[in-house]
Structure 1
Amino acid sequence: MILEFIGLLVAGYYFFYFIAQPFLDCDLHLAYKEKYGKPIDTLRNKVVWITGASSGIGEHLAYVLAVAGCKLILSARREGELLRVKERCLAGNKLLTADDVEVLVLDVVAIETHEKAFNHVINKFGKLDILVNNAGRSQRALWANIEIDVDRQMFELNVFGTISLSRIAMKYFSKRGEGHIAVTSSLAGVMGVPFSATYTATKHALHGYFGALRLETFGQNTKITIFCPGPIQTAFLAESFTEKSGEKLGEETAVSDAKMSAGRCAKLFAVALANEVYEAWVAYPKMMILVYICAYYPNIMNLLPKFISSKKFLNMRDSKEVLKVE
């Protein structure tokens, strides 16, 4: 009877997930935290370093955290764009001063500069509370045609730069006795995604790295958040890798109701940070249900290609045709 009762509880738990999901734009745990957990403004006065802060999710996360009263370090390669983001952060919260938002130009691939950049942050603010590893680029390419140099370049950017900076932060947090590392992954880190093979691999790698770190530091006061967005309305396609080294896709991202706004995505990211959520999934219901099936019902997932072609999946993801696929 006890096993039957436990079985019913488990079945009911997953059934409730599927019933609730059509009404949510994130996983149920994050939705609960948004409604009943710690508010974002509990992060007030936290020192937060965001890489990839010049555009997209990183840019909009900076705006949300500025409103909450965080002190920010904004990093990316484009100083002009970072200055623009800084001005908007200051405009969003009149209580912040120019000294509360630091622009720190950084190429995360230049690993030899990470230690100096980290020391600059500590010298500037006296501490670091949260490191948000957000820098990265997507990809659209045919698996068989991807040049090996593209694989190397994408891992350097999406994985090794993040790991290098996080290891420096982890040593600091361990000595300090507290800290929080966050990383922007993707739903592509949870399931395989066609026509983005290297991108998918880099995101899976992040889950492996930080999953291991989580177990190694279990019981310590260092928190980890892996944030996994689905289709978001940002200009990511213009900078996306292709199958050829040195080439950018250069496509304009289609505006679609199927994509979540960058602002809403950033707010959910901030909720995950405030509540120290380990892993958060964010997307509209159609994509979220697909991910749930992939993660929890792999036998059903194996049947889906019979009903959803890889080309249809690509077009659903981008809301337009960006690759010629037979």
Structure 2
Amino acid sequence: MSWELLLWLLALGTLLALVVQLLRFLRADGDLTLLWAEWQGRRPEWELTDVVVWVTGASSGIGEELAYQLSKLGVSLVLSARRAHELDRVKRRCLENGNLKGKDILVLPLDLADRNSHEEATKTVLQEFGKIDILVNNGGVSQRSLFMDTNVDVYKELIEINYLGTVSLTKCVLPHMIERKQGKIIIVNSLLGIISVPLSGGYCASKHALRGFFSTLQMELDAYPGVTVSNICPGPVISNIVKNSLTGEVTKILGSEADQSHKMATSRCVRLMLICMANDLKEVWIAEQPFLLMAYLWQYMPTWAWWLTNKLGKKRIENFKSGVDADSSYFKIWKPKHD
């Protein structure tokens, strides 16, 4: 075989490999490190058994689905949110469909904005189960309003709940994990902690703050390798987060049902979250296309990302003012298959 022919074959093989990787990326619903961990990494069924998991925001959406999937792994669960009756409903379903008994689930109503209650809540969990292996900071609230139409109190509320509430609860739990030299701090952030979009300025600010703070905390915990921090950034996922979004006033929520046909199935998102927890990944992005592509552009090609986001942002504002879901109408070409 001549050298010329060998070089041609190598070039062809490289081209085919690039095409295959491009096709895989177009079908991806998570960043490449996360999907590698799903294929070759540790399984949640091996790593997340016989542990105590505290989930905030457990009354709906991602937190609710996380409770259901964890209940099948044989963990002890602490379910927290403001609505006690919804937590009771989630507990009943966990007992019906999972592998737990009543004593394995603690319903603990909690308001993230009431930081004075977090220390006592932590003591309650430790009295009940004796340890906290995983804290999933999932509770939070979103926003849909333009800056000029929004009271500053809305931004204060978003920071109080999404950022300071999460930091406060983590600060209460972390000394226990450091003392035991093991534990996992999970932050359910958002792709809007990486990118920015109009109508969600306060929400983006709170999520960017979380990413910056917990990236710093990861480094500060270097002396405690058994205590890990994972920043999980989902894109649009089927839930009521948009319906319950704050608008121009703290006392007003959006309230309208949104088109969710373009969003990822909650069950798939949570499965990938469990993969992240099992493999102690520091940051993961969970989203279907084109949202995942946008995250990569913002991370690696910010100039292009600014240009494209500005173009799409104008349409997002038009959709909102017309009463259409802010994101769905210009992503019709992607039709995710939901569970």
Contact 1:72 1:101 survives alignment (8 Å) = yes
Structure 1 length as normaliser, TM-score? 0.89
User: Structure 2 residue aligned with 1:319, among 325, 328, 334?
Assistant: 328
Measure the CA separation in 1 of the matches of 2:18 and 2:54. 36
AA at the equivalent of 2:260: V
Give yes or no for the alignment of 1:291 onto 2:295.
Answer: yes
1:84 is aligned, of 89, 94, 101, to: 89
Work out which of the two has the higher radius of gyration on C-alpha atoms and give 1 or 2.
Answer: 2
Residue 273 (str. 1) matches residue 282 (str. 2): no
User: How far apart, CA to CA, are the structure 2 residues paired with 1:83 and 1:62?
Assistant: 12
Question: How far has the Cα of 1:238 moved from its partner?
Answer: 2.0
Q: Which residue is 1:174 aligned to?
A: 178
Whether contact under 8 Å (1:186, 1:229) holds in the other structure is: yes
Partner of 1:203: 207
Contact 1:254–1:320 (8 Å) recurs in 2 = no
Residue 223 (1) aligns with residue 228 (2)? yes
Contact 1:231 1:283 in 2 (8 A): yes
Equivalent position SS for 2:187? strand
Partner of residue 55 from structure 2, selected from 39, 47, 50? 50
- CA displacement 1:186-236 (0-9 Å, x = unmatched): 000001121100000000000111011011112422100111110111111
Indicate conservation of the 8 Å contact 1:234/1:253, yes or no.
no
Distance 1:238 1:307, change over 3 A: closer
CA contact (8 A) 1:236 1:253 kept: no
Residues 171 and 264 from structure 1, CA distance in 2 versus in 1: closer, same or farther, beyond 3 angstroms? same
C-alpha distance in structure 2 between counterparts of 1:117 and 1:284, whole Å = 36
User: What's the secondary structure of 2:195's corresponding residue?
Assistant: coil
1:79-112 Cα offsets, whole Å, 9 max, x none, are 1111111111112224x11000111111111111
- What CA RMSD, in Å, does the superposition of the two structures yield over aligned residues? 2.1
Letter in 1 for 2:294: L
Q: Would the alpha carbon gap of residues 209 and 306 (structure 1) be closer, same or farther in structure 2, given more than 3 Å must change?
A: closer
| Alignment check: 8 A CA contact 1:17 1:28 kept | no
The one of 235, 238, 241 equivalent to 1:233 is 238
- Partner of residue 98, structure 1: 102
1:1-326 correspondence runs (5 A):
20-41=24-45, 42-94=47-99, 96-220=100-224, 221-256=226-261, 258-305=262-309, 307-312=311-316, 315=319, 318-319=327-328
Aligned equivalents of 1:114 and 1:14: distance in 2? 50
The offset of 1:17, in angstroms, is 6.9
CA distance in 1, matches of 2:58, 2:96: 17
The answer to whether the Cα contact below 8 Å between 1:190 and 1:291 also exists between their aligned partners in 2 is: yes
For each residue in 1:159-183, what CA deviation from the matched residue of structure 2 results, as whole angstroms up to 9, or x when unmatched?
Answer: 1110000011111111111111011
Shift in alpha-carbon separation, 1:14–1:76, aligned structure 2, 3 A:
farther
Q: Which runs of 5+ in 1 are unaligned?
A: 1-12, 322-326
CA contact (8 A) 2:57 2:140 kept: yes
Inter-partner Cα distance in structure 2 for 1:14 and 1:170: 44
Question: Does the C-alpha gap of structure 1 residues 15 and 152 become closer, same or farther in structure 2, counting only changes over 3 Å?
Answer: farther
2:10: which partner in 1?
none
The separation in 2 between residues aligned to 1:98 and 1:253, in whole angstroms, is 35
SS in 1 for 2:215: helix
Q: Contact between 2:232 and 2:285, CA under 8 Å: does it hold in 1? A: yes
Q: Tell me, what secondary structure is at the counterpart of 1:260?
A: coil
CA distance in structure 2 between the partners assigned to 1:277 and 1:133 by the alignment: 16
CA–CA separation in structure 1 for the residues paired with 2:123 and 2:103: 17
Do the aligned partners of 2:269 and 2:286 also contact (CA within 8 Å) in 1? Answer: yes
CA distance in 2, matches of 1:134, 1:62: 11
Cα distance, 1:260–1:314 mapped onto 2, change above 3 Å: farther
Aligned to 2:9: none
Q: Report how far residue 20 of structure 1 moved.
A: 3.2
**Amino acid in the other structure paired with 1:213:** L
Instruction: Decide whether the 8 Å contact of 2:316 with 2:327 is kept in 1.
Output: no
Alpha-carbon offset, residue 145 of structure 1? 2.3
* Whole-Å separation in 1 of the counterparts to 2:114 and 2:260: 33
**TM-score between the two structures when normalised by the length of structure 2:** 0.86
Q: Is the 8 A contact 2:150 2:247 kept in 1?
A: yes
